[in-house]
Amino acid sequence: MNDIAERLHQQIAQHDARVGIIGLGYVGVPLALALVEAGFRVLGFDTDDAKTEALNRGASYIEHIAAERVHAARDLARLEATSDLGRLGEADAVLICVPTPLDANREPDMTAVRRSTEAVAASLRPGQLVILESTTYPGTCEELLLPILGAGGLVCGEQFFLAYSPEREDPGNPSFGTRTIPKVVGGVDEVSGDLAEALYSQAVVETVRVSSAATAEATKLLENIFRAVNIALVNELKLALEPMGIDIWEVLTAAETKPFGFMRFDPGPGWGGHCIPIDPFYFAWKARQHGITPRFIELAGQINLEMPLHVVARLRQALGGAPLAGRRVLLLGLSYKPDVADPRESPAFEILSLLLDEGAEVDYHDPHVLVAPSMRSWKNLPPKRSVPLDAETVASYDGVILVTDHAAVDYDAVVRHARLVVDTRGRLPVASGNVVRA
C-alpha cells in the first residue's frame, strides 16, 4: 500500500474513518446501524427529507428496525443523516445503497447509481474509498463507476479506491441480520479490495474476499437467480400437477423428507422483493452483450411473471367462469413476504392491477402495510388503504385471495366466513369446501 492507502487503512482499523451511506432504505439503515454499533461514525444521505429527519430524531421508519437501535445510535452521536450530497467529501468511505430497478424494457435502470456516483465524484478527494452495494450486473464498477470517479484526474488504487460488496439483507429474518451475514467483497484492484475488506471485517461476522469487483457482482446475481429458477420450477410443477389432481404442497412435504439432494422451494402467486424479480434480467441483459442467450434463466422469469395471471384465472374459474366485472375481491397481504412491511415488487400489485382491468372491485387487508404506497411498476393504481378484517367484511366479498400469509391473520376465521378463498400459499385446508388452491 502507498501512504494514502495506508493512512486510510489505519483510520479504519482505529475506527477513526467516517462512513457515508447513500440511500437510507432497507439496506442503508441496517448497514448504518451495524457500522455505528461497531464503533464507526456514520453520515447517511437520502433525498427523502422525511427519512433523514426521522433518523436525526432517533426514530425508525422501517418496521423490523427497532426504534431503540436508532435512538441509541443518535445518543452515541455516531449517526447523522442529511439530504445535502455536498457533504460527501466528509466521508472517508462512501457506500452506495440505492435502487437498481428495471426500465420499461426490462433492462437495467442505473439512474440512481449513476447520479450517486456523480455526486461522489463532485467532491472526491485523495484517500476516499467508494463501495457499491446495490445489486447490479457484472462489470458495473469498472464500466460505469470507475470512469465517472476517475474523470477528475485521481487514480484508482493509488489516490481513491473502488470496490463492490453486495447487500444480503433479508427483511424480517429473525435468525440473520447485517452483522451476522457474511459479506462478499471484491475490489477493482487489490488495494481497493483490501481496504473494503478491512472496513467490513470490523462490522460483520465474516468477510468473503473474491478476486474482483465483477466476481462479487456476479456472486450476488447467482444467489438470487438460484432462487428465481427454483421458484419457477415449483410454480411450473404446480401448474402441471393441478389437472392431475395432485397437491404440489403435499408433494413438497414428502420430498423434503429426503435427507440429501433436495432443497425445498414453495410455489406462490409470483415473485417479489427488490432482488429476485430483477436480478435474472440484469444477468440476461449482460449475457446478451457477450453473445450469450441465457434461455434457462429467461424462461424462469417468464414463468414467474405469468403466475399472477394464473391466480386471477383460478379465481374466475372458481366463480363459475363468468367475467369478473362487478365482482368484489379482497386480497390478503400486500407485502412481498410474510410478516414484514416491504411491498417492493410484490405480486399483489400485479394481481390487483389485473383484477381492476377486468372491472372487479378490489380491496386489501395487510396488518403491516396500512396504506398502499405508490409503486414504480404500477403507477396508475388508485389509492388504497387496508380494510379491517372481521366476519362481516370477509363475508361481503365474492372471493378472497390469500397472497401473502402474514402470521397475524386469523385464517380459521377467514375460512369460516368467506364465500370463497383462493389460496396461493398452500396454507389453508381445501377440505373446508370453500378453499381452492392457485
Long-range contacts of 210-214 (CB under 8 A, 24+ apart): 210/184, 210/185, 210/186, 211/186, 212/186, 212/187, 212/188, 213/132, 213/140, 213/141, 213/142, 213/162, 213/163, 213/164, 213/186, 213/187, 213/188, 214/138, 214/139, 214/141, 214/142, 214/164, 214/186
Eight-state DSSP code of residue 428: S
Eight-state DSSP code of residue 437: E
Which residues does the annotation mark as catalytic?
275
List b or e across 392-420, with b for residues whose CB sees 16 or more CB atoms inside 10 angstroms.
eebeebbbbbbbbbbeebebeebbebbeb
75 SS3 class? helix
- Tell me the C-alpha to C-alpha distance, in Å, between residue 141 and each of 83, 134, 157, 278: 24, 11, 13, 19
The closest of 213, 205, 201, 209 to 40, measured between CA atoms, is 201
- Tell me the C-alpha to C-alpha distance, in Å, between residue 353 and each of 166, 274, 362, 363, 379: 32, 19, 9, 12, 10
The closest of 165, 131, 177, 213 to 26, measured between CA atoms, is 177
Taking the C-alpha atoms of residue 101 and residue 285, their distance in angstroms, rounded to an integer, is 13
Is residue 51 within 8 A of residue 70, CB to CB? The reply is no
